[in-house]
Amino acid sequence: MNTISKDIKNRLFKTWLEKEPIAEFENWVYSSTELKDQMDSDSYYEFLSFNYKKTNAISDLKNLIELQLTQPELETWNLKRHLINVKERNKNCIESIRKFYSLNCKGYDFMDSLAFDFGLKLEVPYISQNVVSFEELTEVQKEKIISDFYPEIQDEINKVMSWLENENIVLLGKSNEFGKLKYIDNRTESQKAKKNYTVEKSWWEFWK
């Protein structure tokens, strides 16, 4: 696989996120000398010969784009996708917020604030809504919880996004011997500082 520039990968990422019309991406592929120069000939031909007007073209195009990525890059893109979903409050932002808690538990402990200040309140809604599980929440209750997250959650997302962009956090796309997701932590000590999280007594009483 040839090395392609960050600018090209950003363009691929934008298309992968469906932030750019597929017709614009098609025109760019045909006209971009940089893409031709930097991408290996077989991959470049795949983009040139791709049928951008077929049914489900975007889904197949995403698969084609993913072939240009290493596993760490793909994992980073997936995390950024969830962060952007929540920052922009897209329709699937609830699942992305829940994902923050899951990823923290799986090893991405640099996401502790997103996990415990926000994700946990959806995973354990008894704390604020007096129900046992997320599945018991009404749409009104979900909207109330989510609305209370903003704008604070966007500040946390900006922080994590900056760590990824500046390579303060570098995802490795693999797990350690204990099954925990691995990453390189280049943050300063102040950036690594964690909050002391406590769970309300009523939650513990409920589970006794």
- Asked whether residue 97 is assigned to any structural domain, the reply reads no
Q: Is residue 178 part of a domain?
A: yes
- Joined tokens for residue 84: 């952007």
The verdict on 108 and 202 lying in the same domain is yes
Q: Give tens-digit pLDDT for 140-176.
A: 888 888 999 999 999 999 999 999 999 999 999 999 9
Give pTM, 2 decimals: 0.86
The reply to whether 129 and 194 lie within a common domain is: yes
In a domain, 92, yes or no: no
Helix (H) or strand (E) holding 175: strand 169-175
Query: By residue range, what is the domain housing residue 23?
Result: 6-69
Q: What residues contact residue 85 under an 8 Å CB cut-off, 6+ apart?
A: 92, 93, 96
> Is residue 110 in a domain?
yes
pLDDT tens track of the chain, all 208 residues? 557 899 999 999 999 999 999 999 999 999 999 999 999 999 999 999 999 999 999 999 999 999 999 999 999 999 999 999 999 999 899 999 999 999 999 999 999 999 999 999 888 876 566 777 888 888 888 888 899 999 999 999 999 999 999 999 999 999 999 999 999 999 999 999 877 765 443 433 334 3
DSSP 168: S
Residue 93 domain-assigned (yes or no): no
- The half-sphere exposure of 87 on its side-chain side, counting CA atoms within 13 A, is 14
CB 137 within 8 A of CB 131: yes
